[in-house]
Amino acid sequence: MTNSAHSQWWDQWLRNWQSLAAPQRPANPWAAALDEWSRVLSPPTPSHADVFARMLAQGKSFFAFGDALGQSFETHDEGLDVQALFLRSLESMKPGLDAHLWSGASAPSGLWQLPLESWQQTASILTGMPVDALHGAAGGAPTLPWLQQQLERMLATPGLGYTREHQEQLQKLGGLMIAYQKVFNEYTAAYADMGKRSIERVKVRLKEREAAGEPPIDSTKELFDLWVDCSEEVYAEFVMSDAYVRLHGEMTNALMALKMQERTILDDSLDAMNLPTRREMDTLLQRFQQTRRNDKALQSEMWALQTKQAELQVRIAALQDCLSSGKKKKAKAKAKAKAKAKAKKKRT
């Protein structure tokens, strides 16, 4: 697709959208259009695919913000107070913020969802479990408390029979998964709370601007940047708190405990199949590393000895030179004395 083709596509889309009667228009027209547009894009080169994906995702986040603004304008007549509408629009976001964080909806509050989404992907890579499995079904919705209780009761049932140990390992895995989900839910709730506080912060900033007589905000982008600034401020305050440090530690440790249990179960299975386990590999690697250290230490000692030997050889050669020149001198002196004595004898 060429630049002019992109431009034409968007112009045509806008004409179509404007021709629709208000009730027929989609809820998030710009974000939806971006999805549609991205499907007609020529595929990026694999090395640039990640950047493409990130730019599209963040473009969508910006469009969702614009959509929310647009919607609030549409429901009001001419002569509107943009600031009042914007604040109302922000306020209306609050109750749904938790829901948006769970559902991954393309809403302006998606700004607060991104760090969580990226954590979910990282956790999924680490454990090898799909995002849904790790963070609850239905797009990451928190596990219902009663269901969680049932699961916990089931997992507490003692194992029986020949496979008792294996059952216990699986039960432990289930328990650790629930423990991780619980702390992840707490983590997500903290994010939702920060999101709500960022809305309050925007209101404060707008009032401050007004009081200071600063020039008004005259573009969606400027307004979006203000929200980013406020979000960053609120976030920076919270993530330095003891509460966050505890939560971050608990979530990471819960994920690591889960991963460790996965590894234990996998190792047991490999062991049963007479295949090398991770435990065995670690033992070998540790021994190997120690052998390499010893080897390097010996090499270094050898090199030091060789250097010393070379130095000694130089000194020996110098001494030999010295000795041989001493001998020569002595012989020369002796010959000289002999010649002298001979000459004296001759004279007498």
Pick out residues in 107-146 that bind another protein (CB under 8 A): 111, 114-115, 118-119, 122, 125-126
Judged by CB under 8 A, the residue of 32, 34, 107, 178 near another protein is: 34
Shortest distance (Å) from residue 10 CB to another protein:
5
The yes or no reply on residue 47 touching another protein (CB under 8 A) is: yes
Q: How many Å apart are CA 173 and CA 140, to the nearest integer?
A: 19
> Distance of CA 37 to CAs 40, 51, 70, 220, 236, Å?
5, 17, 20, 21, 35
Shortest distance (Å) from residue 311 CB to another protein:
14
Judged by CB under 8 A, the residue of 20, 27, 35, 54 near another protein is: 54
Let me know: does 120 contact 140? Beta carbons within 8 Å. yes
Shortest distance (Å) from residue 267 CB to another protein:
12
Query: Residues 6 or more apart from 271 whose CB is under 8 A from it?
Result: 277
The yes or no reply on residue 66 touching another protein (CB under 8 A) is: yes
Shortest distance (Å) from residue 153 CB to another protein:
27
If the CB atoms of residues 86 and 102 are measured against another protein, the closer one turns out to be 86
The yes or no reply on residue 342 touching another protein (CB under 8 A) is: no
| Segment (H or E) for 319 | helix 278-347
Judged by CB under 8 A, the residue of 27, 245, 323, 337 near another protein is: 245
Binding mask 277-316 for another protein (x = CB under 8 A): -x--xx--xx-xx---x--x--------------------
User: What secondary structure letter does DSSP report for 273?
Assistant: T
Q: How many Å apart are CA 112 and CA 106, to the nearest integer?
A: 11
Environment class of 241 (CB within 10 Å of its CB; exposed 0-12, middle 13-18, buried 19+): exposed
Environment class of 40 (CB within 10 Å of its CB; exposed 0-12, middle 13-18, buried 19+): exposed
The yes or no reply on residue 14 touching another protein (CB under 8 A) is: yes
The yes or no reply on residue 239 touching another protein (CB under 8 A) is: yes
* Largest Cα–Cα separation, the chain: 147
User: What secondary structure letter does DSSP report for 298?
Assistant: H
The yes or no reply on residue 45 touching another protein (CB under 8 A) is: yes
| Residues in binding contact with another protein, number by CB under 8 A | 91
The yes or no reply on residue 271 touching another protein (CB under 8 A) is: no
The yes or no reply on residue 151 touching another protein (CB under 8 A) is: no
Environment class of 322 (CB within 10 Å of its CB; exposed 0-12, middle 13-18, buried 19+): exposed
> For residues 203-232, which are near another protein according to CB under 8 A?
206-207, 209-210, 213-214, 216-221, 223-225, 228, 231-232
> For residues 249-268, which are near another protein according to CB under 8 A?
249-250, 252-253, 256-257, 259-260, 263
